[in-house]
Amino acid sequence: MDILLEKLVCAFKVSGHEHGVKEVIKEELRNIDCEIKEDKLGNLIVKIGDGEEKMMFSSHMDEVGLMVTYIEKDGRVRFTNVGDVNPSTIIDKVAIFSDGTLGRISTSKEKPEIEDMYIELGLETREEVLEIIEEGDVAKIESEVFNLGENIVGASLNNIINCYALIKAIKDIKETSKECYFVFSSQGKLEGRGGRAAANNIEPDYAIVLGTEELELGSGPSIVVKDKNLIMCHEVKELIENASDDADIEIQYTVSKNGTEGGPIHKEVGGIKTGVIALPIKYKNTLLEMVSSKDLDTMVELIKAIV
C-alpha cells in the first residue's frame, strides 16, 4: 500500500477539523518549490507558477464524522452527525477522537437513527468522561485502506483520493505558463463551504473541481457535463479535452444526479468558468469505497496535462 495514501486516509479530517490531514499534505510538499498557505476557513492552498491566466484545481480533504452533543450520567456519549452519515454503516464501529481516544459506537435498536446511538468509552460516569472529552468534540470513524488486486479499497476515498492525485501532480510539475492554485478544501461535506471561500479569494479564470462518480472502474476519468448544481462551462470542457488529446489520455463523459463544490464555486465573484472531472468509484459513501489504481494514475496525468 502506498504510504502517502495510507496517511491521508487515516489522518484526522472530520469536516471543520481537518488539521491532521493538512499536516500530512504540508509535510509531503515541504521540499517542493511552491507557495503554501492556509486561509481563514481552513483551506490549504498551494500556488505554483506565475502568469496572466489563473487556474484553480479543488478537491475537498474532509470526511464525515460525529460530534458529541450530550454525555449521560452513566457515561454514554450521545452524538450528532457531521455531514451525511448513514447510521446503519457505523453500528459496532470504532470512533476515534482527535486526541486518539477510542470508543465503541453502540445502540439498543435494530434500525437506529443517529439519535438512538451512543459511544461507549468504558467509563461509568459523566464526570469521568468529561476528564477526556466534552460536548462539541468530534470523532472520525475508524478507517483502513488496502489493495484489492489492481484496485484500492478504503474509507473516505471520496474525496481524499483526489487530494492524493493533486499532491502527485504538484510534485511532478516542472513548469507552467499559468498561475495555478491547488486547493485542498475544507468542509466539502458541508455544501462545499471551503471551496467557495477559496474561489472568492483567488478569483480564478477557470476552476476545475475533482470529484468521484459511480462509474465502471478502469474506464478513466470522466468529464461531468451536468450535475445537480452545475452545467459545465464549455470553455473548461474544451480545455480539458484539448489537454487530454495532447497527452493521449482517453476520457469519458457523464451526467450526474449528485453535486460537488463546483455548484457554489461557479457562482462566486460574478461567475467563474467551472467544470468537474470525476474519478470512477465503487461503493461510494460506504466505509469501504473502491477505486482503480489505473484510473488514479490517469487522473494524475490529466491534471499535469491541463497545467
CA-CA-CA-CA torsion sign (267, 272, 273, 275):
negative
Identify residue 230 by its one-letter amino acid code.
Answer: L
17 is in an annotated binding site: no
Instruction: Provide CB contacts within 8 A for 132, sequence distance 6+.
Output: 97, 99, 101, 121, 123
As given in the structure block, the three cell numbers for residue 213 are 462518480
What is d(CA 80, CA 138) in angstroms, rounded to the nearest whole number?
9
Residues β-bridged to residue 107: 117
Start-end of H helices in 247-306: 262-265, 293-306
Identify residue 273 by its one-letter amino acid code.
Answer: K
The closest alpha carbon to 133, from 142, 144, 120, belongs to 120
Residues β-bridged to residue 151: 148, 292
Alpha carbon 78 to its chain's center: 26
CA-CA-CA-CA torsion sign (75, 78, 83, 86):
positive
What is d(CA 77, CA 131) in angstroms, rounded to the nearest whole number?
13
Q: Which residues are annotated as a binding site?
A: 60
Q: Which residues are annotated as a binding site for Zn(2+)?
A: 60
